[in-house]
Structure 1
Amino acid sequence: MNLYTIDVNCDVGEGVGNELELMPMISSCSIACGGHAGNAETIKETIRLALLYRVNIGAHPSYPDRENFGRKEMDISLDKLQQSIEDQISSVQNELRKSVATMNHVKAHGALYNKAAVDSKTAQCLLDAVKNTTKDAWLYAPYGSVLAKIALEQGVKVYFEAFIDRRYNDDLTLVSRDNPKAVIMDSKKVLKQLLRMLAKHKVKTIKGKKVVVKANTFCIHGDNSNAVRILKYLSKKLPNYGIKIT
């Protein structure tokens, strides 16, 4: 039986310490690179694990704000932000070169991801940093976002990303983590959201509306306390629907 394959990505290297359990069950990872979390040692170790399990490697830059884990917008000039993003991506890029490996993608984190999705200046700042530090890397970006639109116009390769463990607003922004229902912890509900995205290209918002969403890659957060349990469940159940993570 030939299974339909999907890319499931996970944010890693953020201090949770569950990478060894996660890597065998995902196909792409985005490594924290010093902005909101991570350092040279964690980057090196996470890359080692990713290569061991043949997981595609990406950089996960953010606002340079470790205090707030990159989850709040910063009052920072675009020049300083671009330099920080370039430094973060380069920290992963340099370690990859030592391993004779290549960067698969770049995916912004937290508030930077959300801001770039709707603000053209922030989006351009991120794109300039990506173009200055990578060659032929994919950009993981939300479907229908300002970031994706500008990237495609400028010839940057885009993977539309959807979140299987987060709840959405009607405008396809993510529900704030201040809301206790923002993160989906139940494995069955995560599977249901993923299957709806795959079969119907829609997501059910927190208000019950079904909105069109397209995705080439599906994210589960490594800092979700149930991430390992959810991925074990998906790995077991997805083949029943003719789907495989690879």
Structure 2
Amino acid sequence: MTQAMDLNADLGEGSVHEADIMPFISSANIACGGHAGDSESMRDSLRLAARHGVAAGAHPGFPDREGFGRRELHFAPADVTIFVREQIEALKAVAAREGVTLRHVKPHGMLYNMAVADAALAGAIARAAADSGVPLYFGLAGDHSLMLRAARESGLQAVGEGFADRGYAPDGSLWPRSRPGALLAQAAAVAQGVRLARQGETTAVSGELVRVPARTLCLHGDGAEAAPLARALRAALEAAGVVVQAPSPAV
């Protein structure tokens, strides 16, 4: 049986490499005004995605441009629902003008990382996504991920996400960026991406086997290495018999 895997990247964040990445991915997570992005960058990313047949989704984060959404912040769940919904709706408004329908929501940065283990936060984000009517929700793959549980409870279609270019902890969470092994070089990222797609597993930084039942793979789009990695990973996936395509919402 032919295997399918989505390949997504976090875009709309001001990277000059975005146009070089887009031809090789199947889903784009577009920053929508929290950690990065404005109406002009949203429009440009949506147009680029449409040109390459890439599914567009919202990438809401903490309202923290100074820290690029990577600082641990604490909001009441009701306030999280409000700012996440506002960001998704901002992108939806631009998308409507461009004739693009948003397919998914994927939280950004620290908002994502905290929601993996915080049920209240995960629920607040999922409610905002459900309120906005976007059908698919990308969250960390694995039984321990509260993100996917909250998505399903909110009526969203949960899509487990693996990370080609990030190291894993033994419990299936991402290895902290501040520690060695958090970011993988191209050859290691390509190998890990193919293994995740074909076998649904990888090896933790500390050596343990980790199950990662992913349907979408992320690579980060904010560095000069992003485009070569996207090209190499897509080629390797296809050579391994994996069809790269965005997940479709269930009818």
TM-score when normalising by structure 1: 0.93
CA distance in 1, matches of 2:213, 2:234: 22
- Which residue in the other structure is 2:183 paired with? 183
State the shift of 1:84 in Å: 1.0
SS at match of 2:160: strand
Deviates more, 1:192-201 or 1:214-223: 192-201
Give, in whole Å, the separation in 2 of the partners of 1:146 and 1:61: 18
Whether the 8 Å contact between 2:130 and 2:155 is mirrored in structure 1 is no
Give the deviation of 1:77 after TM superposition: 2.4
Counterpart of 1:13, as a letter, is G
Give the aligned residue type for 1:128: R
| Aligned position for 1:167 | 167
Per-residue CA distance 1:99-142 (angstroms, 9 max, x = gap): 2221100000011001111111001110111111124x200011
Shift of 1:4: 4.0
The answer on 1:142 being equivalent to 2:136 is: no
Query: Helix, strand or coil: the match of 2:138?
Result: strand
CA distance in 1, matches of 2:53, 2:214: 22
RMSD of aligned alpha carbons: 1.6
Q: Does structure 2 conserve the Cα–Cα contact (< 8 Å) formed by 1:168 and 1:205?
A: yes
Q: In the alignment, which residue of structure 2 is the partner of 1:196? A: 195
1:48 Cα deviation (Å)? 0.6
The 2-side partners of 1:78 and 1:149 are apart by 16
Cα drift, residue 3 of structure 1: 6.3
Q: 2: distance between equivalents of 1:239 and 1:106? A: 26
Task: Provide the secondary structure at the position in 1 that maps to 2:84.
Answer: helix
Aligned residue pairs, count: 243
Q: Matched residue of 1:41: which SS?
A: helix
Q: Is the 8 A contact 1:3 1:239 kept in 2?
A: no
- Please state how far the C-alpha of 1:27 moved relative to its aligned partner: 0.3
Distance in structure 2 (CA, Å) of the matches to 1:97 and 1:79: 27
Matched, 1:212 2:208: no
Pairs within 5 Å for 1:4-83: 4-83=3-82
Which residue does 2:122 correspond to in 1?
A: 123
Q: What's the offset of the Cα at 1:29? A: 0.4
Unaligned stretches of 5+ residues in structure 1 = none
1:150 and 1:13 map into 2 onto residues whose CA distance is 26
The AA in structure 1 aligned to 2:13 is E
C-alpha contact (below 8 Å) 1:62/1:108 kept by paired residues: yes
Report the residue type matching 2:212 in the other structure: V
Task: Quote the Cα distance in structure 1 between the aligned partners of 2:28 and 2:195.
Answer: 23
Gaps of 5+ in 2: 246-251
In terms of mean alpha carbon deviation, does 44-53 or 235-244 score higher? Answer: 235-244
Aligned CA distance change for structure 1 residues 5 and 201 (closer, same or farther; 3 Å): closer
Contact map agreement 1:104 1:138 (CA 8 A) in 2:
yes
TM-aligned CA distance change 1:125 to 1:99, over 3 Å: same
Over 3 Å counting, the alpha-carbon distance change for 1:14 and 1:180 in structure 2 is farther
Q: Percent identity?
A: 33
